[in-house]
Amino acid sequence: MRPWAARSALPVTLLVQAAASAATIAPAVAAPRLLEALGLGPVAVGVYIAIVYLGAMVSSQWGAAWVRRHGPIFTSQWSLATCAIGVLLVSVPNVALAALGALLVGFGYGPITPASSAMLARTTPPERYALVFSIKQTGVPIGGAVAALLVPLALSRGGAPWALGQIALLCGLGIALAETLRRDLDAERDRDAPRPGRADLLRPLRFVLAHDVLRKLAWCSMVFSAVQVCLTSYIVTFLSSDLHWTLVAAGVGAAVAQAAGIGGRILWGFAADRRRDSRSILIVLALVMLLCGLALGLTPAGSATGWVFAILALYGATAIGWNGVFLATVARLVPTQQAAAATSGSLFFTYFGVVVGPPIFGVVATATGRLGVGFMLLAVPLAWAGVSLWRADWKSHD
């Protein structure tokens, strides 16, 4: 492999991740215009998210097989092309086509992380895994920020098709830049490997379930992802309804949490590499998330803005910042050639948390009349996750 290709793997995977994340988030940003054109209510946004991540749950399981047969670069390019087609279909004022578009966005999003994990595992020294994987994962909030800034501006100028078309172009840019690495990073693909089929759908899942530490990590990622999406989905509503903030102030609070998440991903990755102890970092993250949820739920209306911002920053740094350490730990626990399979199987649980977390949170909030109660009750699965990580037999896999 040419040295410049190895050095370029991180920036390319970062761009690919950001473009794919922007594609998943952009329709939610454009929701006011899209819902009006489709004649649907706000609940359709939640349905959109569920369809996207159900698609990602399925396609992520084929990610390892695609990487093996086609290589991580081609897999990433195929994924971005699928995301681009999907996001364009969502902009069409037809419910059936919009639903198909959401499914395609999910199908495209699923293999992105297994492919990038395969690339980074090959081009990164093991002692730098956590930091590099964490930097790559900042593509998720970066993609969200791009969608949040670009889509409203484009909506005002040309409507939903024009706005979502800009996101499709971003996916095209990712495809073009990834092509520069295809010769190097797809060189080890197995052209004779069988095409992904139904048998491959469960193979990564079985692989993870048969591995004691991977299995516990995967279950914990389900909890962490549920907490993350509950925070990002409900924080504006919580601040405006429970704490009686204006929508503008609540939006600033949400931005604080997202910005802290970007910094947190890099900080936790650096700490995990420095300590060479991912388990302790993940346990600390679970504990801090637990305490932040309790603090947020117990914060009364009229509390000092600085206090609430401090909680949001710490909550965002942990609940949005855990992903890179998790993915690096998964890759480090297995041989390099099995990194894609381990990542694919683990992501099934991660995406499942995204699918089930918000509806359960919403039911709790509706039943109690306060979103703060939902944040407090997240302490239960987080406590279980921390204990599970602590009791896992890590030594047998060192």
Residue from 71, 84, 98, 104 nearest 1 by CA: 71
pLDDT of residue 341: 82
Using an 8 Å Cβ cutoff, are 302 and 80 in contact? no
Using an 8 Å Cβ cutoff, are 67 and 75 in contact? yes
The full set of domain ranges for the chain reads 1-126+139-183, 208-392
Which parts of the chain have pLDDT scores under 50? 396-398
pLDDT of residue 165: 94
Alpha carbon distances (Å) from 304 to 125, 290, 309: 45, 21, 9
Distance, in Å, from the CA atom of 189 to the CA atom of 186, rounded to the nearest integer, reads 6
Tokens 């409900």: give the residue. 234
pLDDT of residue 199: 64
CATH number, span 208-392:
1.20.1250.20
**pTM for the whole structure:** 0.78
pLDDT of residue 396: 46
129-165 pLDDT, tens digit per residue, is: 888 888 888 888 788 878 877 888 888 788 889 989 9
Question: Please, what sign has the CA dihedral across residues 108, 55, 213, 287?
Answer: positive
Is 1-126+139-183 CATH 1.10.3720.10? no
Tokens 């991903």: give the residue. 265
Distance of CA 287 to the CA centre of its chain: 20
- Helix (H), strand (E) counts: the chain: 18, 0
Domains 1-126+139-183 and 208-392 are alike in CATH topology? yes
What does the DSSP assignment read for 63-90?
Answer: HHHHHHHH-HHHHHHHHHHHHHHHHHHH
Q: Which letter does DSSP use for residue 187 in this model? A: T
